[in-house]
Structure 1
Amino acid sequence: MSARTSDGKRYAVTVVGYDDQHDLAVIRVGVPKGTPFLPLAKSGPKVGDAALAIGNGGGAYLQPKLGRFTALNTQAQQADFPSGTLELSAPLVPGDSGGPIINRAGEVAGVVSFIRLSGESRETVQIRSYAVPVTTSSALVAELRRGVKREAPVIGISLGSEWRILFDLPEEVFVRSKLGKTAGAFFTSVLPGSPAAKAGLQPLRFSDDGELLSGDIVTAVNDIRIYNFSDFQFAVRRHASGETVTLSILRDGKSLRVPLTLAPRSTLQR
């Protein structure tokens, strides 16, 4: 791994610490002593404050883009991103992720982590950009500097592409469907050897004419009610790898409580 500076030179990079949950890492770059750098912000931003994002989106190297902080404590509608995420109005594009968000004082207030596009055409598209907040007093930054390496917890289930539109299915729509009378999270595949497989979770199975034959509907995690796959992801991400959670499940009309131990993401990627 290496880092390239604006003069085209490359330097070796060492990963000091990282946190999958917060999409943030601390690295050490072997640049010469005296190389200039941007300092971390001394305090967090306020809504309405100006923000300058610098990234490589669209193939443009170190392209600056102006915007403002529009929210300071959001989840970006993504289970991967915890509360506390900063929302920006800067018109970022894929490729800008990982770039710094700079405040008026020339300090790094955040790191771009996610970009969400909505709208049906180029003319109506709306862009919302999200960043992980970083300050000199950040407990997370201090942990990463100490070498903490934290992976996101996973259980090893997925929702097939044809079902992705039902990722955050509302309760009333679920009840009107053929999936059952009690809304919850369902899934269409279980990864062999995963925590889900070891716990005996069963994916949905349908007949040739689309009738539901079997499969689990997860209705709660540690007694916290969930209504769809998105809720399930958020509930799991509140815990750490190695923790055991209890799932409330409906299977063939019966209520079950199933213990499941969360695993780090890397164990399912080997």
Structure 2
Amino acid sequence: MNPRQILSYLAQAVVLGLAIAFVVLYFWPEIAGRNSATVEIRQTAPDTSPRPGNGPYSYAIAVDRASPAVVNINTAKVVTVRPHPFFDDPAFRQFFGGGENLITPRKRIESSLGSGVIMSEQGYILTNHHVINGADAIQVSLQDGRMVQARVVGSDPETDVAVLKIDLQRLPVMTLGHSDSLRVGDVVLAIGNPFGVGQTVTMGIVSATGRNKLGINTFENFIQTDAAINPGNSGGALIDAEGNLVGINTAIFSRSGGNQGIGFAIPTSLAQSVMQEILEHGRPLRGWLGIEAQMITPQIARALELKDTAGVVVVGVVRGGPAHSAGLQPGDVLVALDGKKITEAREALLNISGHKPGSRVKMEILREGKSMMLEATAIERPAQAATE
């Protein structure tokens, strides 16, 4: 074999070796002590559990289930507009001819918008007291296009709940949910007629439950939500992700008059109980003792020589009322009602109002450092009572 052939064989061997090395390093890079860059993508298994909507993040089925039972409410009332007292000035009337039309009171119609929820096939509708308060005419518009006049069955300004009645057949009815089992973070949907644009759905979560001390109503136990609630939503439905009613939209906290992510709804547990009493008695029946109470501050505790700030101090007793007849006096410290400890005035209010008229209320009090038991018979709470 001559040198030319030997060089040819060597060149072929080198090329073949390089080719084999390239293939090996390409497919098995770890042989060279290197790891190729890898991207791990984690994908969850398909969720086959039933969902409340058509898709994984849709609430369309819930809305389809609930929205037909949410109605638009249009109210109208006649108001008298009195002319400015300037027009009564004899000099003005003499100078301008003294036209009687300048001093005659005129009437005009004021209208407002709200929402409501159909609660039964008999045509009973839940809404807010402030939506229909003072209205001379109430018109209800259904999602299917029907319109009908409604009448007020009863109203409770202390919880801002009102019940209307319409006479129509084949009414869609809302399904009640369990407002007492709501948790912060639960998804909720608000359905109503904001600004009169037509039925609108907004979504949010439950931001808090049991909100009170807001100064909105006498009896407060609000669901707070960040679902957009605007003027016109009042009386509308707050539903859960399955389309069940959990609240009646009532109020917003706003500096501008529009939604700022803080809305309040009356839980169905409260609204339903008020509705039931309105249907049975024409009004809610609440107990009343005629007591005005105040929280005990450290300063008050020192002044009364109390060991702690437990209970509430009685600052007023209605003369001739149930508490007065039972022997309660201003300056007494109310410690417990029917064995339940009282820590603030609102607890006393809710406890006493929860008694039916005619029922007995046991009061544990402290008077001049001595423990005493008194018993009073509750009577029906007067309208807009300032004291308990």
Do the aligned partners of residues 201 and 268 (structure 1) sit closer, same or farther apart at CA in structure 2, a change above 3 Å counting?
A: farther
Q: What letter matches 2:332 in structure 1?
A: D
* Equivalent position of 1:89 in the other structure: 226
Letter in structure 1 aligned against 2:313: F
Structure with higher helix content: 2
**What amino acid is the match of 1:76?**
R
Q: Separation in 2 of the partners of 1:246 and 1:192?
A: 19
Contact 2:190 2:228 in 1 (8 A): no
In structure 1, distance between residues paired with 2:369 and 2:323: 20
Change (3 A) 1:168 1:70: farther
1:156 is aligned, of 290, 293, 300, to 290
Note the alpha carbon deviations across 1:38-77, whole angstroms, 9 max, x for none: 6312544765323114367xxx4578573434168x4323
Structure-2-length-normalised TM-score: 0.46
Q: Note the C-alpha offset of 1:261.
A: 1.5
Q: What TM-score comes out, normalization by structure 1 length?
A: 0.61
Higher RCO by CA contacts (8 Å cutoff, separation 6 or greater): 1
Aligned 8 A contact 1:218 1:247 in 2: yes
Q: Any conservation in 2 of the 1:19–1:150 contact (CA below 8 Å)?
A: yes
Partner residue of 2:236?
99
Amino acid at match of 1:198: S
User: How do residues 157-196 of structure 1 correspond to structure 2 at under 5 angstroms?
Assistant: 157-159=291-293, 173=298, 177-181=302-306, 182-183=308-309, 184-196=311-323
Pick closer, same or farther for the CA change 1:155–1:99 going to 2, 3 Å. Answer: farther
Q: Establish whether residue 13 from structure 1 lines up as the match of residue 148 from structure 2.
A: no
Q: Secondary structure at the match of 1:256?
A: strand
What is residue 76 of structure 1 aligned with on the other side?
A: 211
CA contact (8 A) 1:199 1:259 kept: yes
Residue 13 of structure 1: how far off its partner (Å)? 1.0
SS at match of 1:147: helix
Shift of 1:248: 0.8
Cα separation, 2, equivalents of 1:96 and 1:265: 30
Q: CA deviation at 1:103?
A: 5.2
| Structure 2 counterpart of 1:211 | none
- Label 1:41 to 1:49 Cα distance change in 2 as closer, same or farther (>3 A): farther
SS of residue paired to 1:196: helix
Letter in 2 for 1:266: P
The answer on 1:226 being equivalent to 2:351 is no
Structure 1: which amino acid aligns with 2:337?
V
Rounded to whole Å, the distance in 1 between the matches of 2:346 and 2:275 is 30
Which one of the candidate residues 182, 196, 202 is aligned to 1:66?
202
Q: Is the 8 A contact 2:148 2:166 kept in 1?
A: no
Write the distance in 2 (CA, Å) between the matches of 1:155 and 1:198.
Answer: 10
Does structure 2 conserve the Cα–Cα contact (< 8 Å) formed by 1:249 and 1:256?
yes
Deviations 1:211-253 (A, max 9, x none): xxxx111011122222231332243244333211110111233
Q: In structure 1, which of residues 256, 263, 267 is the aligned counterpart of residue 372 of structure 2?
A: 256
Task: Name the aligned partner's letter for residue 225 of structure 2.
Answer: L
Partners of 1:71 and 1:88 within 8 A in 2 = yes
Q: For 1:25-44, list aligned pairs within 5 A.
A: 25-30=162-167, 33=169, 39-41=173-175, 43-44=177-178
Compute the displacement of 1:185 (Å): 1.0
Contact 1:25 1:144 (C-alpha < 8 Å) held by counterparts: no
Say whether residues 1:202 and 2:338 are aligned partners.
no
State whether structure 2 residue 280 is matched by structure 1 residue 147. yes
Q: How many residues align?
A: 230
Range moving further from structure 2, 140-149 or 174-183: 140-149
Q: Percent identity?
A: 21
Deviations 1:150-184 (CA, angstroms, capped at 9, x unpaired): 3222222235xxxxxxx5557xx367542431432
> Over alpha carbons, which structure has the higher Rg?
2
Q: What is the RMSD of the two structures over their aligned residues, measured on CA atoms?
A: 4.4
